[in-house]
Amino acid sequence: MSLSTLDRRLKSAMKQEKISVSQLSLESGLPTRTIYHLLSGTSKNPKREKVKVLAKVLDVSFDWLFSDKGSSDGHRILTMASQMTSHPVHRVVANQYLSTFKFSVPNTLGLFGTSYASHQHYFFEGSSDCLPPNTLLLVDTNGVGPGQYLALFDKSPERTGWFALVNKVDRGLSMSSSTPSCEVDDITEVLGRLVAQCPWKTEYMLDEAVESEAMDTTRTEYC
């Protein structure tokens, strides 16, 4: 469905946030009648102030919602600009390593004065067995202790590997409930402890492919 009109963009944003008209009215302070008029397309000249309020509640860009300029999450990039940094990111598609590119990513560690020396980013593009679609992971390759870890698996005769999350407890590794078809014995390498994750997009990828130092060349038979 084209999102070329405000009513369609509003419907899309509401569907994404799983919010009803009555709930949107309550959180925005706008009458339900006003929201219904916007949704029906009968409001030909909507007031900018009202759309700004709706954009804030729906967590979308005002420029996108009001006039279809930019992307729906463009406001996040603007507010995060001073908190972004450029880093190599390993792209994982269909749970398999694809390539390494420079991305603009949240400066998660830099804000606290921590070095990225032992940390790697992995972008799970599209659907994944173990993560929500389009998720960026920050992994500590020297991480220790209980928690979730990113692991590389191989259980096929063709030795085609893929990524999944495993849990580490005092007794050792155990499979995450999101990867029931994998076995601990299929793990070929534990890549690191999961530090953070967030939704991300290919739009944040910079036009620069990089040689992957973190993805060891001996691992190509698995990837």
Q: In what helix (H) or strand (E) does residue 128 lie, and over which residues does it extend?
A: none
Give a three-class secondary structure readout of 63-108.
Answer: HHHHHCCCCCCHHHHHHHHHHEEEEEEEEEECCEEEEEEEEEEECC
Q: What is the C-alpha to C-alpha distance for residues 187 and 130, in angstroms, rounded to an integer? A: 15
Tallying the residues shown for the chain, one arrives at 223
Q: Where are the domains of the chain?
A: 6-72, 83-219
State the pLDDT at residue 34: 92
Greater confidence (111 vs 165) lies with: 165
Greater confidence (205 vs 93) lies with: 93
State the pLDDT at residue 26: 92
Residue 89: partners with Cβ closer than 8 Å, 6 or more residues away? 100, 101, 102, 103, 105, 121, 122, 123, 136, 205
**Topology alike, domains 6-72 and 83-219:** no
- In the predicted model, is pLDDT for residue 107 greater than 50? yes
pLDDT tens digit sequence for 159-168? 456 788 888 7
Q: What is the C-alpha to C-alpha distance for residues 216 and 223, in angstroms, rounded to an integer? A: 10
State the pLDDT at residue 74: 57
The CATH homologous superfamily to which domain 6-72 belongs is lambda repressor-like DNA-binding domains (1.10.260.40)
Confidence of residue 147 (pLDDT cuts 50, 70, 90): confident
- How large is the angle between the packed helices 32-40 and 48-58, nearest 10 degrees? 90
What's the whole-model pTM score?
A: 0.57
Buried-state track 155-164, b at ≥16 Cβ within 10 A, e below 16: eeeeeebbbb
Antiparallel, parallel or unpaired: β 119-125 and 135-140: antiparallel
Q: What is the C-alpha to C-alpha distance for residues 71 and 58, in angstroms, rounded to an integer? A: 14
- In the predicted model, is pLDDT for residue 45 greater than 80? yes
Percentage of residues of the chain with pLDDT beyond 90: 18
Greater confidence (132 vs 219) lies with: 132
Q: Which two tokens stand for residue 31?
A: 């009458």
For residue 100, how many C-alpha atoms fall within 13 Å in the half-sphere facing its CB? 16
Answer yes or no: are the C-beta atoms of 222 and 154 closer than 8 Å. Answer: yes
Fold of the 83-219 domain = Umud Fragment, subunit A (2.10.109)
Residue 104: partners with Cβ closer than 8 Å, 6 or more residues away? 84, 85, 86, 204, 205, 206
* Number of Cβ atoms within 10 Å of the Cβ of 83: 12
